[in-house]
A and B are shown apart, each in its own frame.
Chain A
Amino acid sequence: MTEFYGLPNAGEFWHWTNALHFVLVGLAGGMALLAALLHLKGHEEARRYTLLALLFIALDLFVLWAESPARFRFSHAWLFLSFQPASPIWWGAWGLALGFLASGLLYLGRGPRKPLAWALLLCSLVALAYPGMALAVNAGRPLWNALMAGIFPLTALALTLGVAALLRGVWALYPLRLLLGASLLLAFLYPLTLSPEARGHLWEEGGILYGLILLLGLGVFWRERLAPWAGFLAAAGLRALLAMVGQWQGLGL
């Protein structure tokens, strides 16, 4: 039996608002990548997706600030006044901010188009990579293993392509199926990459939901009208669930 005088600070530190951010940042990074690729291809929809990238980046950055308990201490300025290359969140701050700048200039048609599109592409890759890394760097949290660095970028792209498919981007359906299929495969294998006790925790805390999300994801291979919704919801659910249930220290203390 374990008892305490006082308590370890083991409560949830990222709440549903952070789970929402984990979804939004996927959309922000994914839209930015899509916009950059469409610009580089000279696609007619490039401007439309640049606006979406701008909106999602702005929305995500707003949610990040609004949900932060430090919001009215305005300490967020330090994100841009320090050099912390070992911190995934620092990379995310710069990736999203510079991505916003690049997509803003692209949308307004200011500045050189090609270099801006390449810059946006780079920023989007940073924004896509950092949320998974922000989880995977925590070696003490058994559920956030190295697979996070793969599942998060993949689900981010699936989210984005889900939205694109909903916006009747017919080209989005094939890559959506491919990337969500890859996400689902990783998500299916993920429990097998965990220690038995971590797998037990995943099962206890989110087992049924996890299974339902995977099942829902299979809907992406079904009817064309259903596929974007299934893809979007499965990718969002997977991201939110992993961010929430992974806040577990294991049994080593």
Chain B
Amino acid sequence: MPRYAMAIDLSLCVGCAACAVACKMENQVPPGVFNLWIREREVGAYPDLTVEFRPEQCLHCENPPCVPVCPTGASYQREDGLVLVDPRRCIACGACIAACPYDARYLHPAGYVEKCTFCAHRLERGQAPACVATCPTFCRTFGDLDDPESPVSRALREAGRVDVLRPELGTRPKLFYLNAPSKRGLTQERQVKEVRHD
């Protein structure tokens, strides 16, 4: 059984949002909600200025806080590590949205919670997720973490630096950010606030 993961090399990402648009198209994500979005941040000041383009989506955490809080079992984790929602069971109570530390989940207008699925329907056909397939800078890799020769394993091995979002929460994300442009790693909103206060 594979253990699916994704890596995004931030030293290559230009924040063009092709992945976000591809996702919208592929998954018919309704207006106003997003499986995938780009966060763009400037940190520092000239001549030490950094811009971080950071695509964000469900990280398909190894230890997903959104799953145990679901009262109906609609939110579940597959053996291959994908965290998915069964809309037939979902009562749209929002417990999983509350539990997700990454804002990855939203209420679909049809009355259930939805999120990035790592394009589970494409994986079944042997295709890569739409965001990976469309990326023009080839900054996204996807594959089986347990296979050392998978694109994601290779990218992780070759990266100068690997980060995940909010590691302190113990969610063990399976979306890895490689080669973050800032020396301090992934930027946080509190850094932006600090700059503003200066």
Q: Check: B98 CB closer than 8 A to any chain A CB.
A: yes
Q: Check: B25 CB closer than 8 A to any chain A CB.
A: no
Question: How far does the alpha carbon of A169 sit from the alpha carbon of B153 in the complex, in Å?
Answer: 68
Main secondary structure of the interface of A (DSSP, over half): loop
Main secondary structure of the interface of B (DSSP, over half): loop
Interface centre among A71, A75, A92, A197 (most CB of B within 10 A): A75
| CB of A145 to closest CB in B, whole Å | 14
- Say yes or no: A69 contacts B111, CB within 8 Å: yes
- Say yes or no: A9 contacts B71, CB within 8 Å: no
User: In chain A, what residue has the closest Cβ to B167?
Assistant: A252
User: In chain A, what residue has the closest Cβ to B105?
Assistant: A9
> Which residues of chain A are within 8 angstroms of B122 by Cβ–Cβ distance?
none
| CB of B184 to closest CB in A, whole Å | 13
Residue among A8, A79, A140 making CB contact with B71, cutoff 8 Å: A79
Interface residues of A in 71-114 (CB under 8 A from B): 71-73, 75-76, 78-79, 81-82, 84, 86-90, 92-93
Residue among B37, B38, B70 making CB contact with A87, cutoff 8 Å: B70
User: In chain B, what residue has the closest Cβ to A80?
Assistant: B72
> Which residues of chain B are within 8 angstroms of A93 by Cβ–Cβ distance?
71
Interface residues of A in 46-74 (CB under 8 A from B): 68-73
As a 0/1 sequence over residues 162 to 190 of chain A, the CB contacts with chain B under 8 angstroms (1 = contact) are 00000000000000000000000000000
- Say yes or no: A8 contacts B34, CB within 8 Å: yes
- Say yes or no: B34 contacts A89, CB within 8 Å: no
Interface residues of B in 154-198 (CB under 8 A from A): 165-166, 168-169, 188-190, 192-193
Name B's A-contacting residues (CB within 8 A): 15, 17, 20, 33-34, 36-42, 56, 65, 68-74, 88-95, 97-107, 111-112, 165-166, 168-169, 188-190, 192-193
